[in-house]
Amino acid sequence: MTYELRKATVWKRASAYICDLIVMLMAAVGIALALSAILGYDSYDKKMDELYNKYATEYGIDLEITDEEFETLPQEQKDAYAAADKALQEDKEVIHTYNMMSSLLLLITSLSALIAYVIFEFIVPLLFKNGQTLGKKVFGVAVMRTNSVKVSPVVMFVRAILGKYTIETMVPILFFIMLLTGSVGLAGFIAILGMLILQLGLIIFTKNRTTIHDLLSDCVVVDMASQMIFDSEEAIIEYQKRIHAEAVQKDTY
């Protein structure tokens, strides 16, 4: 092992990331399904289908057709579609159901992702030590501060929850949901693209191939087999003194 920085190779980091991503997605989906059942999302979804079917039957029109299909309709059916759509937009029950679905979707998504991150990106690395997730443990990489000191719980919280969960995951997801619900237009797409470009730029152009979460927490991903990680800055100083003393002793002989 050596005191000098031994960054993990790109393929090791990528392999660990893919492994962690698979585990996280599986966990998040399972948690989301459980939360959906607990919070009753499916009941609102069923209610929305019933309301759509009610107006579709009343106006004699299919409300789930595409724009291309709409253009092929005769004018009479286009007018019926417009009237049904207007009635839907003014129906207080439809508005309430839609708002509840949107709110629950955001809540379920954010909570399931948060729980998955807390377990696999915060608790597991604290148990494994040296910031190792399941993927990092498998591929032999670790996380330390840029000064070679091991990560503390506070640092891991900043890295995992503030960096990975809040900025890198929830901000893009929030904009994506807003895009799907029509709450934001081109600005949402630009925001997501900007986040991706920033992340790639940091990885390509920074000295330590730093990601946003590593930049925030002042961390670096290293090769576990060859990198020395110290408990504190004092331990580094003691190590440097010992190495210096050994060098002086060798010069004496």
Mean pLDDT of the chain: 86
Query: What digits encode the pLDDT tens for the residues 57-73?
Result: 888 888 888 888 888 88
C-alpha–C-alpha distance, residues 161 and 166, integer Å: 6
Q: Is the pLDDT of residue 121 over 90?
A: yes
Question: Mind listing the pLDDT tens digit for each residue in 170-209?
Answer: 888 877 777 776 666 666 677 777 777 877 777 777 777 7
Average pLDDT over residues 74-95: 89
Band of pLDDT at residue 252, cut at 50, 70 and 90 = low
Q: What is the pTM of this model?
A: 0.81
Q: How confident is the model at residue 248 (pLDDT cuts 50, 70, 90)?
A: confident
Provide the residue count of the chain. Answer: 253
